[in-house]
Amino acid sequence: MNKINALMVIAPTCSGKEKLSLKIAEHLNTDIISMDSMKIYKGMDIGTSKPSQLAQKKCKHHLIDFLEPNQEYNVNQYLADAKEICINKTQNKQTILFSGGTSLYAKGLFSGMFDLPSVPSEIRSKLDQEYDLNQEIVYDKLLSIDPQTCKKVFPNDKKRVIRALEVYEHTGKPISYFQTQFEKQESEYNIYAIGLRWDRSEMHARIEKRVHWMIEAGLFQEIIELKNKYPEFSKSASRAVGYKEILAHLKGELTKEEAIERIIINTRQLCKHQTTWMRKFSINWIDMNSDISEQQQLQQALDLINNRFENANE
């Protein structure tokens, strides 16, 4: 298999990866392929810290701003779209640069994704009702069918329990069978990833500063306007941190102050989740602190990239 060579800048939310990616892209005279599952949505600008118009003029950004907030999009669609862009860029002999923090997108690029068959909605609805009636019986059913999956999926994880059972009911094979087949696959990419890593206390301070900046920049008004235009958001868009809390406020479920505090808490949790996921990937980390300038950060990244290219040519 001829693999696609690519660079990647990856880090949890609020780490500064967008600024670094833009500087790397300008240095290498290339574009940026976004790796962010929320920047895909039109109008969701402030809450996703989407690149400014100036940044987009300096450097073309792919896979942002192309979907309405009431439309769904999944990782397999992302991988197909990204691959098409990469093939075109390879033909033009351009460096491929991914940038973002959506762990599932990164996982797909690092190791591919297994594509399970779609399951009829009536099977899911039936299992959903059964789970609500008696969680223990439903989990015991999964345990008898697929004990391997039960080592990773616990009784209170409703979504994953139902997903495993619906795959079995529809295909006659446990979900662990498909996962085992997937693990035998090879990625289509050779990825060299650079990550930004901050101390926990500094990361929390950056998150709080970012959230207050978003509020001052007009996040509440952005969401009100989006809600007027799109009365129903897609499931993915409605779960975006920063949006789901303000949507809850607009429904009267939270005060404005509670919504802001919840955004800070949920962003910290997102950061923790992303950090945990990223430990599974092969990443060359740059340890950050407030004393490191943007120029020093860029130089460290370019040194890593240059060393990579030199080693590849030996």
CATH of 121-182, one of 2.130.10.10, 3.30.450.20, 3.40.50.300, 1.10.20.140: 1.10.20.140
Instruction: Give the neighbor-by-neighbor strand order of the sheet with 189-198.
Output: 61-62, 32-35, 97-100, 4-10, 189-198, 283-288
| CATH code assigned to 4-114+185-313 | 3.40.50.300
Provide the b/e sequence for 122-131 (b: ≥16 CB within 10 Å): ebbeebeeeb
Q: In whole angstroms, how large is the CA radius of gyration of the chain?
A: 21
pLDDT of residue 180: 74
In this predicted structure, what is the pLDDT of residue 1?
62
The pLDDT score that the predictor gives to residue 28 is: 95
Q: In the chain, where are the structural domains located? A: 4-114+185-313, 121-182
Output the pLDDT for position 2.
83
Pairing mode, strands 32-35 and 4-10: unpaired
| Short-list 122, 120, 170, CA closest to 145 | 170
- Look at the alpha carbons of 276, 45, 194, 60 in this order and tell me if their dihedral is positive or negative: positive
Residues 6+ apart with CB under 8 A from 69: 41, 42, 43, 44, 226, 230, 233, 234, 237
**One-letter identity of residue 223:** I
Q: What is the pLDDT along the chain (314 residues), one digit of tens a residue?
A: 689 999 999 999 999 999 999 999 999 999 999 999 999 999 999 999 999 999 999 999 999 999 999 999 998 899 999 999 999 999 888 999 999 999 999 999 998 876 677 788 899 999 999 999 999 999 999 999 999 999 989 999 998 999 999 999 999 999 888 777 655 567 889 999 999 999 999 999 999 999 999 999 999 999 999 999 999 999 899 999 999 999 999 999 999 999 999 999 999 999 999 999 999 999 999 999 999 999 999 999 999 999 987 666 55
Q: In whole angstroms, what is the distance from residue 193 CA to residue 112 CA?
A: 16
Q: What is the DSSP letter of 252?
A: T
